[in-house]
Amino acid sequence: MTNEDAKLAIFKHLVSFFMDTEDPGDWTVEQVEQWQTTGENYSECLMGSMGMEVLSVEGDVITVTLKLQDTLQYINEWLSGDVVSVDKSL
């Protein structure tokens, strides 16, 4: 697994986590699709606000660094489209 693959795996894990915490088990297809989009947006914003960089991958162990940013400021910049750190690879 490359570092970019690892970053994508972390992104997908976060999306699954967000969906699993909200899904009551009886959602319609439309509700699943809507929450999928919401989970992807939350995950992208969260990863950006943490300044996450993958350093290495060894088997199923992913080593990352984080540069935490002020959450409210980051969210406001992200929502306005002013964030230069948005990861286009996700």
Is 84 or 27 the better-scoring residue by pLDDT? Answer: 27
**In the predicted structure, residue 85 carries a pLDDT above the cut 80:** no
Which tens digit of pLDDT belongs to each residue from 3-61? Answer: 999 999 999 999 999 998 888 889 899 998 888 888 898 898 899 899 999 999 999 99
Q: How far is CA 89 from CA 3, 23, 44, in A?
A: 11, 27, 10
The span from the CA of 53 to the CA of 4, in Å, is 9
* pTM greater than the 0.85 cutoff: no
- Helix (H, G, I), strand (E, B), or coil: what is residue 66? coil
Q: Check if the beta carbon of residue 19 is closer than 8 Å to that of residue 39.
A: yes
Query: In this structure, how many other beta carbons lie within 10 angstroms of the beta carbon of residue 49?
Result: 22
- The pLDDT assigned to 22 comes to 86
The span from the CA of 73 to the CA of 29, in Å, is 34
Domain ranges for the chain: 3-80
